[in-house]
Chains A and B, each alone.
Chain A
Amino acid sequence: MATKTLAGVDVSVSDDGYMTDSSQWTKEIAGAIASEEGVELTDKHFEVLDFIRNKVADGALLTIRGINKSGVVDAKSFYQMFPGAPLKKSTKIAGVPKPESCI
Chain B
Amino acid sequence: MKKLLILGAGTAGTMMANKMRKHLARDEWDITIVDQHKTHYYQPGFLFIPFGMYGKNDVIKPKSDFFPVGVNVIFSKIEKILPEKTNVLLEDGVKLNYDFLIIATGCRTVPDEVDGLKGNLWYKDIYDFYTIEGALALANHFKTWKGGELVINISELPYKCPVAPLEFAFFADAFFTERGMRDKVNITYVTPMPGAFTKPRATKMLGDLLEQKNIKLVPDFAIMEVNNEEKKIIDYGGTEVKFDCLVSVPPNMGDELIERSGMGDDMNYVPTDQHTLQSKKHENIFVIGDAADIPTSKAGSVAHFAAEIMEENLMCAIEGRPMTASFDGHANCYIETGYGKGTLIDFNYDTEPLPGSFPFPGLGPFGLLKVSRMNHYGKMLFRWIYWHILLKGKELPVDAKMQMAGKKL
- B266 and A103 within 8 A (CB): no
Which one of A60, A78, A102 lies within 8 Å of B158 (CB-CB)? A102
Residue of A69, A78, A102 with highest tally of chain B CB at under 10 A: A102
Q: Which residue of A lies closest to B298 (CB)?
A: A103
A65-B251, A102-B158, A103-B198 given as contacts; is B220 within 8 A of A85 (CB)? yes
Within 8 A of A (CB), among B218-276: 220, 222, 224, 236-238, 251, 265-267
In Å, the complex CA distance between A92 and B237 comes to: 19
- B295 and A75 within 8 A (CB): no
In Å, the complex CA distance between A91 and B267 comes to: 21
- Name 20 A/B residue pairs within 8 A (Cβ), A-sorted: A61-B293, A61-B295, A63-B156, A64-B222, A65-B113, A66-B266, A66-B267, A69-B266, A75-B222, A75-B236, A76-B224, A76-B236, A78-B236, A86-B236, A100-B198, A102-B158, A102-B349, A103-B157, A103-B162, A103-B198
User: Which range contains the number of B residues in contact with the other chain?
Assistant: 20 to 34
**Chain A residue contacts of B237, Cβ below 8 A:** 79, 84
- B236 and A103 within 8 A (CB): no
In Å, the complex CA distance between A85 and B331 comes to: 29
Residues on B lying within 8 angstroms of A by beta carbon are: 113, 156-158, 162, 192-193, 197-198, 220, 222, 224, 236-238, 251, 265-267, 293, 295-297, 329, 331, 349
- B158 and A61 within 8 A (CB): yes
Main secondary structure of the interface of A (DSSP, over half): loop
Would you give the 0/1 interface string for A41-78, flagging 1 where the beta carbon is closer than 8 Å to chain B? 00000000000000000001101111001000001101
Within 8 A of B (CB), among A19-48: none
**Chain B residue contacts of A102, Cβ below 8 A:** 157-158, 198, 295-297, 329, 349
- A103 and B158 within 8 A (CB): yes
- A101 and B266 within 8 A (CB): no
Which one of A60, A76, A85, A101 lies within 8 Å of B157 (CB-CB)? A101
Which one of B113, B238, B251, B297 lies within 8 Å of A103 (CB-CB)? B297
